[in-house]
Structure 1
Amino acid sequence: MLRSFFMSFQKKAWKKYILFAAAACFLLSGGIWYVKEYTTVGNSVNGHEMPVCSVETDEKQAALTFETAWGDKKTGEILDILKEEKIRATFFVTAGWMREHPDLVGRMKAEGHDIGTMGVRHENLSEQTSAEIRAELQEAEHTAKEEGISMELFRPPYGRYSDTLIRTAAEEGFFTICWSIDSRDWKNYGKRSLIKEVVESEELRNGAIIRLNSEAKFTKGALKELIENIEEKSYEIVPVSEMILRDNYHMDVKGRQIPRMT
């Protein structure tokens, strides 16, 4: 009888163990699913903030972005080409450059280009504190407002970013924008190399964001042909502001904005 009692007890204990293990597995898998979903809402991926590098869209669109922090001669000529080709692009400028070249800033605005900021002096902000970043962005925004410009786009200088940088920029009302295609024009490899980097990139697809530098040696000379090559692939070139998603999206590990299913 005693033996029967222990056997019955052991069976009940095993049943409880199995039920407990099953429940634990269910909760664990559910927990993992929840964390994965949560960390891909907005600009967070696996617990880290991501800049917008491209956009998932059915529209066959791409964006040309120009980093503009030094000089003015080639930037003016680039604006001439864009006007001639009826292209609206996105210029990321520093507050210092805006103060020195209000005429070019005025042209950018009048001709329908996006104007975003890279801060005040084009310095690496990725290791700065939230307070330092906030001061930098507020000064840049104040300078823009003096020129009658409202900004919502921020490109971290050198493409270097941190969780703190992206979060602080968002708190100040900025979308942090990097790129999916780097023309590498800053390496001065020549016109053909620049065009090839963009046109033959596997990242040239709907929602691509292309990085260029206004004052790089070969950018101005390559621009017209680059535009023609992109348009020959049936892409419409639009400003970043017309392509990005402002809500109801999540990000993948490459910084691609993806609309959330509703």
Structure 2
Amino acid sequence: MNIQKYLEKIKKYQIFVVLGVFVFLVAFFLGVNFRNLKAVSGESKKYPIYSVDTNEKKIAITFDTNWGTNNTKKVLDILDKYDAKATFFLMGTWIDKHENETKEIFNQGHEIGNHSNSHPDFTLISRTRIIEEIAATDAKLMNLLGKGTEVFRFPSGSYNEKALEIAESTNHYCIQWNVDSIDWKEQGADIEYNRVMKKVKPGSILLFHDNAKYTPETLPRILSNLKAKGYQFVKVSDLIYKKGYYMDNSGTQKLKEK
């Protein structure tokens, strides 16, 4: 290789580096980070709904129900006392064993969401299995209550883009949460109460397990204090937007500007 060609290659490389740095700086100052590059190129990443952007003091209390029924009646009585409507995400196998409790949840005006049939990890199963898991639970609810579900929650909250795309194709809104009581760890009522109260805000979706040890003790305190602050407790399907929305990269559902 002669010196002239070598110098020309170095010059081209230097120009390439300078252009690369320039593009990076422009992107940085325009507020475009690497996490959002897919969106810039038209490959917008999808998210389930973790919370809703709203100024209204409305929140959704949700329960993942798959551990038994020891506290179910207590939780329903507490919700009734504070005029709170909630969403219970039920597993198909739980419904099989607890038809009366399923009917009671429904008859008291609460929403029933789909939590799969047998609680597998949706990141590890096939497209066909995902559809079957969701369809099986809806079929059981249709048979028992005459109504299927509109909202779905991944078992253990575990999902990837493939699982999300397939679940949404079954005509369900996929619901996560932005306030987790972590009540399943059973660390104590005060810890659970403080954990929730520090994070709750308008549009929050709260996660509890109705059969966790301290939930019947924690829940009245949370509902009482939030109600005193002007909050309303609504079903997830009454909190979320059904059209004209987009998801930001924190999983917050926002209305599109008109």
TM surpasses 0.5: yes
Give the structure 1 partner of residue 167 of structure 2. Answer: 169
Matched, 1:238 2:234: yes
Identity of aligned residues (%): 29
Q: 1:38 to 1:210 in 2, by over 3 A?
A: farther
Whether 1:124 aligns to 2:121 is yes
Please tell me whether the aligned partners of residues 89 and 152 of structure 2 are also in contact (alpha carbons under 8 angstroms): yes
In 2, Cα distance between equivalents of 1:175 and 1:71: 26
Structure 2 residue aligned with 1:101, among 98, 103, 122?
98
SS of the aligned residue for 2:130 comes to helix
Q: How far apart, in 1, do the equivalents of 2:41 and 2:82 lie?
A: 43
Q: CA deviation at 1:169?
A: 1.2
Gaps of 5+ in 1: 1-20, 40-45
Tell me the residue number matched to 1:36.
Answer: 39
Structure 1 residue aligned with 2:218: 222
Secondary structure of residue in 2 paired with 1:245: coil
Q: Is 1:178 equivalent to 2:181 in the alignment?
A: no
Query: Contact between 1:49 and 1:162, CA under 8 Å: does it hold in 2?
Result: no
User: Conserved in 1, the CA contact under 8 Å of 2:38 and 2:45?
Assistant: no
Aligned CA distance change for structure 1 residues 104 and 37 (closer, same or farther; 3 Å): farther
Runs of 4+ in 1 over 2 A off after TM superposition: 32-39, 46-49
Deviation by residue 1:122-166 (Cα, 9 ceiling, x = unmatched): 221122221110111111111111112320111101111111111
Aligned residues: 227
- Per-residue CA deviation, residues 79-135 of structure 1 (Å, 9 max, x unaligned), is 111112221101001011111111111111111111001101122112222111011
Task: Give the Cα–Cα distance (whole angstroms) in 2 for the partners of residues 142 and 121 of structure 1.
Answer: 14
Q: How does 1:1-262 map to 2 (within 5 A)?
A: 36=39, 47-147=44-144, 148-201=146-199, 204-262=200-258
How far, CA to CA, are the matches of 2:41 and 2:88 in structure 1? 33
1:7-36: CA deviation from partner (whole Å, max 9, x where unpaired)? xxxxxxxxxxxxxx9xxx9xxx9xx99973
Q: Which SS does the other structure have where 1:144 is aligned? A: helix
TM-score by length of 1: 0.81
Contact map agreement 2:181 2:193 (CA 8 A) in 1: yes
Structure 2, unpaired ranges of 5+: 1-18
